[in-house]
Amino acid sequence: MKILQVLPEMNVGGVERGVLDLAKYLVKQGHESLVVSHGGSMVEALEAQGTKHYTLAVHKKDLFSMWECSGELEKIILKEGVDIVHARSRVPAWIAYFSCRRTNAAFVTTCHGYYSKNIFSHVMGWGKLVIVISEIIGRHMIEDFRVHPENIRLIHRSVDLDKFKFRERRVGQSAFTVSMVGRITPLKGHAFFLEAMAKVIRQMPYVRVRIIGDAPANKRVYKDRLVLLTRRLGISEKVEFLGNRADIPQLLEESDVLVLSTITHEAFGRVIVEAQAVGVPVVVTKVGGVVDIVEHEKTGLVVLPRDVDAMASAVMRIIKEPKLADAMILEARKRVEEKYTLEQMATATIKVYQELKTSLNILVIKLSAVGDVILATAALRALRKKYPQAKICCLVGRDGAAMIQGCPYVDEVITYDYKGRDKGVFGFKRMLGVLRKYRFDKIIDFQNNNRSHLLSFLCFPRASYGYRNKKLGCLLSHGILNDQPNIPPVRHQFRLLEQLDIVYDEDVRLEMWPRPDDILYAKELLHGNWIDEKNHTVVGVNISASERWPTKNLPMKSVADLCDKMSADNIRVIITGMEKDASLVRQLSGHLKSKPAIFVGKTNLLQLAALISLCKVYVTSDSAPLHVAAAMDVPVVAFFGPTNPERHIPPASRLKVIKKDLACQACYLTECKNKKHACMVDITSVEVYAEIKKFLGKAKT
C-alpha cells in the first residue's frame, strides 16, 4: 500500500514522533510511506529511514492557502498513486479531505486532541474510519461530533522500545531529578507544577527540576512568566528550561520522577508511556486519556488537576518510598510491553489501512412507490454479485421498507419517512445526519429527483451515480443523460450500473421474500374459502391499480365476465386489492354471476406476494401487483392502457401484455379526455381468458 500521512510540521513533538515511528514501520513492512508537512527538524530522520517527504504549507489556517494546498496535495496523491491519506491535525485534515474527494484515495483521521466543539473541528470525524488514541477521545467524537461508533477505531499511541530502553533504578544517589515534558502552554499546568516543586525543594533541597519543551511563538510571554515565577518561588537555581530536545530517551533515563500536570482533557499522554518504558515512576493529573494509562498506586500516582499539595506529596512519596516506586516501575513496564509497543500500534494502524482499502459502503436510493422498490431488487442482486464483500444499504420510503426487509442482498434498510416524521427541512437534516454516519463510498440514486440528488451530494460520497434529469442532477459526480426514456424500468436502472461494469443479462429478475408467517396467512385465507392450492387451479385477479390511476383499470363488467368464464371451467378465482377498492368490489358484485373469493383489503404486500405465489396465473393492470407477480415468478397477464409497457414492464420469464394500439394510447392521463376509455374498455374478457388458458395449458392446438 501507499500511505501518505499529513500533519502541520515535522518538529519535535508527540504527534511528530508517532508519524516518524509509523513511517519507519511501514517501510520495514514493505509499504510505501509518504509524509506531507511544512517541514521541520525531523524531516532528515524521516527521509533517512526511507520515507518521501513533500513540503506544503499545510499549517496555515487561511482559506486561500488551504484551497491552494488541497490542489497541490491532489497532484501528489495522483502522481504517487496514494491509497490512503492519513490526516493528523485539523488544518491538514480539511486540505486532505477535499483532495481525497477528487481522487480515489481513502481518507482516515487520527484524533490526537480533545477538540473544541466547533465547525472547524468536525472534519476530524469525517474520515471513513476515525482513529482515537484513548477511550475518552472516542466518547468525545461520538457524543460531540456524532461519529458513528462503528467508524471508531481505538489505537493507543506507542513507544519504540528500541529507543526507550528499560534502565535499572538508581540507588544511593544524592540528588534527584524531577522532569516535565511537553509544550509550554497554560493548559499543561506548568505554573501548578512549579508551585508543587517549590514545596518539594523546601523539604528536599537535593531535588532539581527539568522542564523539557518550549513555548510556541504565541505563548512566549507565558514562558517568561514561568521563568519569573521560579524566581518569585526562590527555586530558579533548581529549575532548568531545556527547550525542545530530540534526546528525550536520554533525558528520561536521567530522571527520577516524571510529572504530567495538565489541567484540561489530555488525549493520551505519550510521554507517560515513554517514561514507564524507561523505568521512570510517574505522577499525573486525573484528566482525559491519562486514566487509560495510569492506575493509581499500581503504575503511577494520580492527583487532581491544580492540586499543588497533592502533587508535591506524590513526588516526595516516590522519592521516600523506593519499594513503592520499584513496584510501580515494574508493573508499568509490563503494561507498556502488553499494550503500547510500536509494533502493536503500527500493526493495528496497518489493519485499519487494509480495512479502508478493501471495505466498500454503498447506498441505493429508491424512495417512491412500493412497486418501484420491487423493481430495484434486480439491481440490488447485481450489486451484491459485483461487490460480495461490500456493505450495501438501501434508502426507501416508509411504505417500501417492508418490501425489502428480507432482501439477502442488503445489509441494512434505512427508512426515510419524508411524508411524516422526516417531513420538511428539519426532517431532511435529520436524515442527512443519519446517512453521513455510514461514510458511503458510492451512492446509486435510482430516485433521481432533486431531494435524492441533494442527499447524495451532502453525504459526501467518493462517487454518486444517477440521471441528470433534474435541476440538481449536476451535483452527481457520475451523472448521465436520460436520453433513452422508452426502455423498461429495470434496464433504465442498469444504465446507471453500467458505469460500475454491471451489465443487464438474462439473469436479471425481480425478487420478493415473504416470511413463513406470510405464507401461512395466505394459505389460511384460501383454506377459509374452501380453496386447496394443491388440488385446485387458482387464478388471481387484481381489481385495480393505484387510487391515482383509475384509467389503468378494466371496467368491472369485464372483470366480472372474466371471473364467470373461469368459474364455469372450474377455476377457483380470487380477487385481490386494497381497502380503498371497496367501492369497486360493490360494482363488481353487481355484475357477477359466480362467487370468487374476495380478498380485497385483507393483505399487505408481503402477504399478497405469498398469496400470488399460490396462484397458477395472475391477472393485473400496470401496478405494484404486476411487479409482485413477476418477483414471485408466477405467470402474469398484464393489460396496459394509458401507460407504455415498454417503459414499465418488469423482467419476467412468463408474462403476456395485452394492449390496444390506439392513437391516444400511452397518454399518461389519469382521466380519459374523450371519456370513452377505449384503451381499457376494448380489452375483452375473451382475449384475456385466452391468454390465461395458454399459461394453464388448456389452449386448443
Residues 6+ apart with CB under 8 A from 53: 10, 34, 35, 36, 37, 39, 43, 46, 47
pLDDT at 665: 82
pLDDT at 700: 42
Between CA 459 and CA 474 the distance in angstroms is: 15
Among residues 352, 364, 354, 358, which one has the least CA distance to residue 459?
364
Please say whether the beta carbons of 4 and 84 come within 8 A. Answer: yes
One DSSP character per residue, 542-562 reads E----TT-GGGSPPHHHHHHH
DSSP state of 571: P
Q: What b/e sequence results for 231-254 when a residue is b if at least 16 CB atoms lie within 10 Å of its CB, and e otherwise?
A: eebebeebbebeeeeeebbebbbe
pLDDT at 483: 86
Instruction: Specify the pairing of strand 207-212 against strand 442-445.
Output: unpaired
Cα 386 to chain centroid distance, Å, stands at 20
Q: Residue 378: in which H helix or E strand, if any?
A: helix 377-386
**Residue whose entry in the numeric block shows the C-alpha cell 411504505:** 399
Domain 360-500, CATH among 3.40.50.2000, 3.30.470.10, 2.40.50.140, 3.30.70.890: 3.40.50.2000
Between CA 109 and CA 41 the distance in angstroms is: 24
pLDDT digits (tens, 9 = 90+) for 560-602: 999 999 999 999 999 999 988 889 999 999 999 999 999 999 9
Among residues 211, 283, 204, 291, which one has the least CA distance to residue 243?
211
Just give the CATH number of 516-696.
Answer: 3.40.50.2000
Query: Domain 2-154: which CATH class?
Result: alpha beta
Please say whether the beta carbons of 572 and 537 come within 8 A. Answer: yes
- E strand residue ranges, 144-217: 152-154, 176-181, 207-212
pLDDT, average across residues 120-141: 92
User: Which percentage of the chain shows pLDDT scores above 90?
Assistant: 69
pLDDT digits (tens, 9 = 90+) for 206-229: 999 999 999 888 888 999 999 999
pLDDT digits (tens, 9 = 90+) for 386-435: 999 999 999 998 888 888 888 999 999 999 988 888 888 999 999 998 99
Q: What is the pTM of this model?
A: 0.77
Grid coordinates representing 664 are 391516444
Three-class secondary structure assignment of 605-656: HHHHHHHHHCCCEEEEECCHHHHHHHHCCCCEEEEECCCCHHHHCCCCCCEE
pLDDT digits (tens, 9 = 90+) for 262-285: 998 877 788 999 999 999 999 999
Domain 176-338, CATH among 3.20.20.70, 3.40.50.720, 3.40.50.300, 3.40.50.2000: 3.40.50.2000
Residues 6+ apart with CB under 8 A from 492: 484, 647
Residue spans in the chain of domains classed CATH 3.40.50.2000: 2-154, 176-338, 360-500, 516-696
- Mean pLDDT, the chain, integer: 91
Q: Looking at the predicted structure, is the pLDDT value of residue 678 above 90?
A: no
Sorting pLDDT into bands at 50, 70 and 90, what band is 172? Answer: low
Burial class (CB in 10 A: 0-12, 13-18, 19+), 62: exposed
